[in-house]
Amino acid sequence: MTASTAPTALIADDEPLLRESLQRALATAWPELRVLAQARNGREAVELFEQHEPDIVFLDVHMPGMNGVEAARQIARRAQVVFVTAYEQYAVQAFEQGALDYLVKPVDELRLADTVQRLQERLRARAAGTPQPQLDLQAAIETLARKLMQPEGGAGAAASTTGSAAGHLQWIRASVGSTLKLIPVDQIVFMRSDEKYTLVVWHEGEALIRTPIRELVEQLDPQCFVQVHRSVVVNLHAVSHVTRGPNETADLHLKGRPEVLPVSRSYLHLFRQM
């Protein structure tokens, strides 16, 4: 652990939504943990690790350029490594010996709590000078590296959708670890996506799914949901008011929520009469 200060961590993932989601989840599960930096790929993760020397590194397995496994090789035993992967079969088989820890995307709260507990125990043992089991870290990394070279067949999507008889979605099913969340579509406030994931925000919470927003918008009731930006779909019933911005843009304000959603020029015509 870094001197006598609070434990520190680095998060590396090429998906901004996943980085932000994990950092928020860690803030709840482990308030004392300080996330010193976020990296967008493996090479940046190694650079930031050398700069900040965090106690823990959360590494996405699949990243462009240098992936998480290659980054782990360079970090070696200088930090507690937790791999984050969308493909549980890699994680379970590679880490069942307990040499490393792992999280499956989207990260489940209970699973994260287990990981936090194990990390805390390891950090306390190391700080106290307690001998720790000799774990074959390098063998576990090489096992994962071999599996990454195999085809990804059978890797299931983390989310699916359920349509109504009229053809519009009624529910969105989001798999979060071992928990299946059924999100009523009419309770969704908005959805925001990046290249691989879509953040679904509804009245009772939020979840990440792997269905692209362009596929979702085609299945939603157009009387309720409209796309207002390349990456944003909003429930019109959740909109409080619209403020015009520069260059033919606008901002959407929501009822009882702090988020402000952008409206790009292409979609501004939807709100000219509001």
User: What is the SS3 assignment for 169-189?
Assistant: EEEEEEEECCEEEEEEHHHEE
Percentage helix, strand, coil for the chain under 3-state DSSP, each rounded to 5? 35, 30, 35
DSSP H stretches of helix in 129-181: 137-148
| CB-CB contact of 173 with 180 (8 Å) | yes
Q: Is 67 exposed, middle or buried (0-12, 13-18, 19+ CB in 10 A)?
A: buried
Query: What pLDDT does 218 receive?
Result: 81
Residue 161 contacts residue 211 (beta carbons within 8 Å): yes
Q: Which of 106, 58, 82 is nearest to 205 (CA)?
A: 106
Torsions phi, psi for 38 (to 5 deg): -125, 135
| pLDDT given at position 117 | 92
Does 44 have pLDDT greater than 60? yes
The pLDDT value recorded for residue 100 is 66
- For the stretch 6-35, pLDDT in tens is 999 999 998 888 899 899 999 999 999 999
- Whole-number pLDDT of residue 154: 33
Stated pTM of the model: 0.58
pLDDT tens-digit profile of 100-123?
A: 677 877 788 888 998 999 899 888
Asked, as a colleague might, if the bond just before 222 is cis with ω within 30 of 0, I would say no
Mean pLDDT over each residue of the chain, to the nearest integer: 80
Angle between helices 137-148 and 68-75 (to 10 degrees): 160
What is the tens place of the pLDDT at every residue in 70-99?
888 888 778 888 888 876 665 655 555 455
What's the CA gap between 178 and 24, in Å, rounded?
20
Q: What pLDDT is attached to residue 126?
A: 80
What's the confidence (pLDDT) of residue 234? 93
CA distance 274 to 232: 19
| pLDDT at residue 127 is higher than 90 | no
Instruction: For residue 135, name the pLDDT band (cuts at 50, 70, 90).
Output: low
pLDDT bucket at 178, cuts 50 / 70 / 90: low
Return the pLDDT at 197: 86
Q: What is the pLDDT of residue 149?
A: 56
